[in-house]
Amino acid sequence: MIAKKALGLPLKGLRFAIKSGDTLVKTASTQVTRFKTRFDEKKAQMALDEQPVAKRNYAKASEQADLSAQEQSIDMREFEFTKAPINWIPATILVATPIAAAIITPWYLFTHQVSAPVWGVFGAFMVWTGISITAGYHRLMAHRAYKAHPIVRNFLLLGSTLAVQGSAFDWVSGHRTHHRHVDDRLDDPYSAQRGFWFSHIGWMLRNYPSGKFDYKNIPDLTKDRVLQIQHKYYGLWVVAMNVGMVAAIGWLLGDVWGTLVIAGLLRLVLTHHFTFFINSFCHMFGTRPYTDTNSARDNFFLAIFTWGEGYHNYHHFFQYDYRNGVKWWQYDPTKWLIAGLSKLGLTSELRTVDDTTIKHAEVQMQFKKAQQQIDTAAVSGIDLPHAMKSFQDRIKFEYDAFTQTVEEWQALKAKTIELKKTEFADRLHEVDDKLKHDYAKIEQKILEHNSNLKTAFRSIGANEKAA
């Protein structure tokens, strides 16, 4: 067991390494694939040119007809977006509550004295609702990144209801659709491609086609009796939590209206928009250290207000990891809570991506960045300076070495699976020790590639400054 924990690479997150590693290896061979595609297209065109003229014209006409039909379908779906009816209940809540908070809160603070206990309830409710969305609706239910004891699960469910962001069925169904169709203008419920306003709040104000819930993608939740009740009586749950419970606490504190204004209204609006910023802000501003295949970005500043959800680029690439901030210095209190509860036996089966897969993604993005610099210099139309030519040669050399490392890694993963299938239980510790050693060598190679890339970047930066 100790060896297994020490391994920490393929054994705990092997399933993720297989899924993510396969994708990453495909990315590493982009140039080969691109060449093959161009060759096949040219070959197909030559074959078409050899056909009789009539047959060739028929083929072209059929192709144009198919394209026309496809474009017409897209135009019709876009038309549905422009004519989407107002979604009155969410629209009323999402428009009225910020206006009310902006008017009532300053007035109340100016004309009344709010006691420290009321502010304490406000802070506690901010934490409860925020953590419930991130640890409950998001990482637990939407991505099944871990399992939770019923006490924890129900506590997070109540906090998510207090946040007023829809039932678990609605929230999770929409979120899974978002991950499946991220950045698609027609199918992503809150696509960033439609602009900041749409992805932030606009998608909820109208009954857009992309916002229709498909409960077929949440079969694991629809069987849950508690979630069924929450979904069926969601309106009553919201009123009971946000009015009944808040007012009752205010009565106990001797300030019903102050508690309703501060811990109820103000807290609700802030919780709403902190969450919505993940859909909008984190798809437009920040860095992309792991992938550029979608618009999701890492944003440390937003992570502070969203309980660690700001590391969105990582999340979209490794969505089943219970962590968003994987570096030791990254602020992710949701991760710390889940890990802490596991020590008490209240959470279990915490899913992670192994370090080698993560480092591989980072290095791959470094290569993309380097290639972009080279391409930019080449497109400029001027002769590459000596420093850039040296940089280009260095990158080519490192990329070839990196590709070989990836191949070794893939072979090792396949070997790992086979060994786990064939070795007897009493010899598994020997297998673990050997795999630990082999994976350590792979990881060291990847780290060396990363270090070499950073050195290359620094050298070209120094030469550019000197110039």
Read off the pLDDT band of 406 (50, 70, 90): confident
Q: What is the pLDDT of residues 433-446, one digit of tens each?
A: 666 777 777 777 77
More confident: 67 or 125: 125
Phi-psi region of 352 (alpha: psi -120 to 50; beta: other; left: phi over 0): beta
pLDDT score at 242: 97
- Determine the angle formed by the axes of helices 355-379 and 386-422, rounding to 10 degrees: 150
Residue 366 pLDDT class (50, 70, 90 cuts): confident
SS3 72: helix
The pLDDT of residue 349 is 96
Burial bucket for residue 60 (CB in 10 Å: 0-12, 13-18, 19+): exposed
pLDDT band at 82 (very low <50, low <70, confident <90, very high): confident
Instruction: Say if CB 326 and CB 339 are below 8 A apart.
Output: no
Query: What are the tens digits of pLDDT across the range 146-197?
Result: 999 999 999 999 999 999 999 999 999 999 999 999 999 999 999 999 999 9
Give the DSSP H/E element, type plus range, for residue 148: strand 147-148
Res 6: pLDDT:
37
Write out the DSSP string of 268-331.
HHHHHHHHHHHHHGGGTSSB-SS--SSS--B-HHHHHHTTTTTBHHHHHHSTT-S-S--STTS-
Express each pLDDT in 302-353 by its tens digit: 999 999 999 999 999 999 999 999 999 999 999 999 999 999 999 999 999 9
pTM confidence score: 0.76
Q: Residue 263 has which token pair?
A: 């811990």
Nearest to 278 by CA among 142, 175, 153: 175
State which H helix or E strand residue 348 sits in: strand 347-348
Residues 324 and 308: beta-carbon distance below 8 Å: yes
